[in-house]
Structure 1
Amino acid sequence: MSPAKVFLYKSPSVPLYMQLADASRMPEMAFARCEFGNKHCKTIIAHVLVTDGQVQEMGDFERDGVTFPAAEIQIDFINPVDSDGDMFPTGNLIDILTVPNVGEFEATLINAGMPTIFICTSDL
């Protein structure tokens, strides 16, 4: 199946099928390549199954934590790390995070598409 390049609006509240290009431009059956950027200026590409110009929502793909099966959507994160190329912004795998009036915690700071801090819940 050949990919068709389709651009999405940046609003996550609009259903995917409402954001696709004109259905007449879509192949009979293909994986549409949908490119969009998040607020951190990263590029995300979603590969969505299209049949007869319509996005396929039904399917048998199952994901832990999701109630019902649906069509699989493959997501590719393009260059998720910032321009400096370091996924760990401090350069350390583990840092000591000091929280005033609370204490110190071992933490892992990661910036791979979305800045995130990981702390063991047992330390809280």
Structure 2
Amino acid sequence: MVELQRTLVLVKPDAMQRGLAGEIISRLERRGLRIVGMKLIAVPRALAEEHYAEHKGKGFYSGLVEYICSSPILAAVFEGPSAVKAVRQTVGKTNPVEAMPGTIRADLGLMT
């Protein structure tokens, strides 16, 4: 039996500014996931630091915290069978260049 899971998805500042939230949500829904909660949020610095605590001390940490706090994001909780795996497969690798074609990051990600 496939496990029903919930997972957090953050539609980050650049995607929000480029009007991609709807496309991202649609792709996840087409994978059989459903939204069980969603909120537009201006991320407070303390929350960003807590969320990304595992990266503290790494060279990209301060830039990541600044970026996520730079403008509002969409935070959504999706639910479905093997939701964590489904989201990871749909979103793709962090680096858009390394992401498989057809994934959100390969198709919509910015090359930095």
Of Structure 1 and Structure 2, which has the larger fraction of its residues in strand?
Answer: 1
Of Structure 1 and Structure 2, which has the larger fraction of its residues in helix?
Answer: 2
Q: With structure 1 as the length reference, what TM-score do the two structures score? A: 0.23
Q: Which structure is richer in relative contact order (CA contacts within 8 A, separation 6 or more)?
A: 2
Q: With structure 2 as the length reference, what TM-score do the two structures score? A: 0.24
User: Which structure would you say has the larger Rg?
Assistant: 1
